[in-house]
Amino acid sequence: MFKKGFTLAEVLITITILGVVAVLTIPALKADIDKTSWAQGLKVNYYNIQQGFHRMLADQGVDSLGDTELADIVPMTLLYKPNSSSGSSSGGGDGEEEENENEATNEAILKEMSKYFSIQKMDIGVPEDHPIRKYSGGKYTSEISDSLKFYLENGSIMYIRFGRYSAGSNAQKYGTFGPTRMYIDVNGEKGPNTLGKDIFYIYRITDDGNLVLYGLGIANNVRWDTASGVYACTDEAIKTNKSNGLTCGARVFEQGFKITY
């Protein structure tokens, strides 16, 4: 006896069902893979960058970033803006001379940073064709436009603003010198270039080289789970599209480097 095979109609129905299942499940699987990749990217960069600053301190035999050779390179201003020679708002001086001075400072910073971090090249700011966006949508600029942009060999990008705190509460909390702001883009210029997805905000690097994620509630910092409005990274803030994503790195950190939103 011959066994009855599948009819063409049955094969077509099966293929159609498999196609529907694929359409429904593949986007969700891709989203899970992306989240895992972004969270692991934050974990790797968080520890690698922190270790880089620790090596800087150990290599130079100092306890504070303010006593490193890097601190000697960055001009003595409240905020070093790489687009101008010193970050000062006082003005004056020859424009070409200031530009040359600024370029020399940028090159010196790159040379010193390259001793402790695997840097391919350095740039400034965010190009128009690769804008950074808030989790809730809309372009995000803020201090990133005044940041040095380090392309790392692992494919990530590290945006850093260097600055100083004068004597007072901020100096006591963070020290007098260091990267005052940092953003980590874990997959470089690939999409989605969005805060809380593939870009995470480091609020401060302390004098002893430790990274402080924005949203951990440290030193009067807001907390991702109790903040309101755009600074929250709760399920409700994500669901209602209110979060700007700035504190989401802290949530990823506290949940074992997992993106659960």
Q: What is the pLDDT of residue 249?
A: 97
Judge contact between 225 and 243, C-beta under 8 A: no
CA distance linking residue 139 with residue 234, whole number of Å = 21
The pLDDT value recorded for residue 176 is 63
132: amino acid identity, one letter: I
Q: How far apart are CA 117 and CA 12, in angstroms?
A: 56
User: In the prediction, which pLDDT does 94 show?
Assistant: 59
Per residue of the chain (261 residues), what is the pLDDT tens digit?
555 666 777 777 888 888 787 777 777 788 999 999 999 999 999 999 999 999 999 999 999 998 999 998 988 777 788 875 444 433 445 566 667 888 999 999 999 999 999 999 999 988 777 789 999 998 998 878 889 999 999 999 999 988 876 555 554 454 567 677 899 999 998 989 999 999 999 988 888 999 999 999 986 679 999 999 999 999 999 999 999 999 999 999 999 999 999
CA pair distance 230, 247, nearest whole angstrom: 9
The residues facing 181 across adjacent strands are 161
pLDDT of residue 13: 82
Beta-strand relationship, 177-185 and 157-164 = antiparallel
What is the reported pLDDT for 101? 82
pTM over 0.85: no
Residue 27: is the preceding peptide bond cis (ω within 30°)? no
What's the one-letter identity of residue 197? K
Q: Is residue 252 within 8 Å of residue 143, measured between CB atoms?
A: no
Euclidean distance between CA atoms 214 and 229, whole angstroms: 15
Model pLDDT, residue 95: 62
Could you write out the DSSP letters of every residue in 39-94?
A: HHHHHHHHHHHHHHHHHHHHHHT-S-GGGSHHHHHS-SSSEE-TTSSSS-SS--S-
Strands 148-152 and 119-124: antiparallel
Residues 6+ apart with CB under 8 A from 39: 252, 257, 258, 259
